[in-house]
Amino acid sequence: MRWSHGSLTSRLWANYVHGYFDDDQRAEVPEGRRIPSWTLVNFNIDWDVSARQTLGLTIRNLADRDPPVALGSAANVDLFNHNTLGRFYTLNWVYRY
């Protein structure tokens, strides 16, 4: 979803990872164990300071959701499909020549 007003532009979007079966082969892990789906909501706002400059702030994982447990990984998290960063912020400044 995108919203603009004057020199401000903001976006709200989601990243979704569908649930799947855990690939852990150890005997103590139940066969057919499912990793639940995971949805992250993100937000960005940009301010056009001038015709040549933009200042922006992005917040990823707005709700600070933990990734689901994946027992088939040594980290207990599937780092290919999920991340353990939690909520994080990015501030950027763009200058156009």
pLDDT of 64-95, one tens digit each? 999 998 877 678 888 888 999 999 999 999 99
pLDDT attached to residue 17? 95
| pLDDT band, very low/low/confident/very high, at 3 (cuts 50, 70, 90) | very high
> Mean pLDDT for the chain?
92
Indicate the pLDDT class of residue 29, thresholds 50, 70 and 90: confident
Range of the domain at 48: 2-95
pTM of the complete model: 0.82
A 10 A CB-CB count for 26 gives: 7
Return the residue matching tokens 């940009």. 46
C-alpha distances out from residue 21 to 10, 16, 75, Å: 36, 16, 17
Q: Are 37 and 23 in contact (CB under 8 A)?
A: no
What's the domain count of the chain? 1
Backbone angles phi, psi at 13, to 5 degrees: -145, 165
